[in-house]
Amino acid sequence: MPSNTCHPNAPHVKLKAPDWYISSLMMDRALDAILRRVKKLDRKHDIPYLAGYSEDGKTIYIDRHLPTSFVFRGRTIEVDRFLILHEEVEKTLIDQLGLHYLHAHQIATRAEEAAIHAQRITWKAYDRFMQKYVKRIGDERLTKVPEDLDLKPYRDYHDYDLLHRMQQHLARDKTLAASKKAELKSYAAAFREELRDQQRHAAPADSARRSKVVSKKTSAARSAKAKPKRAPAERVKR
């Protein structure tokens, strides 16, 4: 079906139920509507956790090493559309409603899961495929990060190590804008300060906890020492 129709991928058939019912066909149509609004899809970079978006939201990034499809029960399942759905929903909730990343991520994941189920795919199989290609902290494949990648998800997720690694990579890029380098530097500084605060608050608590344990052990030892020993019972002769 031509891409300029109302829903190019979902079957062009009339719904047999009211449009407020939960419907796999309607879910497909909603997904098609979101896909039509994507300005640019980029698969040329390394993206932590497989997918992300540019700061202005006009580009959706999908990791260059992630295959475009996998086989599920004899069917070839293209995965880009599900990742695009997740990233578009997440970015919109963060930018338009001011949601924290973790909250937006949860809602976006539910939408992604619904789209997966609408295609009669199990979430377990889909997630198992995705986890094979996730690039996490310290991954040597994380070498080509886009300079306009929105860093808010990694900042809100408190992934300091990952941000630090991206900072090292982008610092070597001579074409990178000074504003992006400054942003990364400020994030790193904020994380370091937060970690120091956590350590300062944790130290007194740990000290008090250790003192309490030592006090209990000392009290128990004193009680055992002060308690008179029971005389051995006399053996009864038979």
Q: What is the pLDDT of residues 108-164, one digit of tens each?
A: 999 999 999 999 999 999 999 999 998 764 566 778 889 899 988 877 766 666 666
Q: What is the band of 201 on the pLDDT scale with cuts at 50, 70, 90?
A: low
- What average pLDDT does the segment 189-198 reach? 58
Among 13-22, 24-33, 123-132, the range of highest mean pLDDT:
123-132
Nearest one of 84, 24, 13, 26 to 53, comparing CA atoms: 84
Q: Are 105 and 153 in contact, with CB atoms under 8 Å apart?
A: yes
End-to-end CA distance of the chain: 102
pLDDT number for residue 79: 97
27-60 per-residue burial string, b: 16 or more CB within 10 A, e: under 16: bbbbbbebbeebeeebeebbbbbbbbbbbebebb
Q: Are 79 and 129 in contact, with CB atoms under 8 Å apart?
A: yes
pLDDT number for residue 1: 38
Q: What is the pLDDT of residues 42-68, one digit of tens each?
A: 999 999 889 999 999 999 999 999 999
> How many Cα atoms are found within 13 Å in the side-chain-facing hemisphere of 20?
0
How many residues in the chain?
Answer: 238
User: What single DSSP character describes residue 140?
Assistant: T
Q: What is the pLDDT of residues 93-113, one digit of tens each?
A: 999 999 989 899 999 999 999
Q: What is the pLDDT of residues 73-84, one digit of tens each?
A: 999 999 999 999
Please check the confidence at residue 212 and state whether its pLDDT lies above 90.
Answer: no
Q: What's the mean per-residue pLDDT of the chain?
A: 77
Of 213 and 66, which is predicted with more confidence? 66
Residues near 96 by beta carbon (within 8 Å), at least 6 away in sequence: none
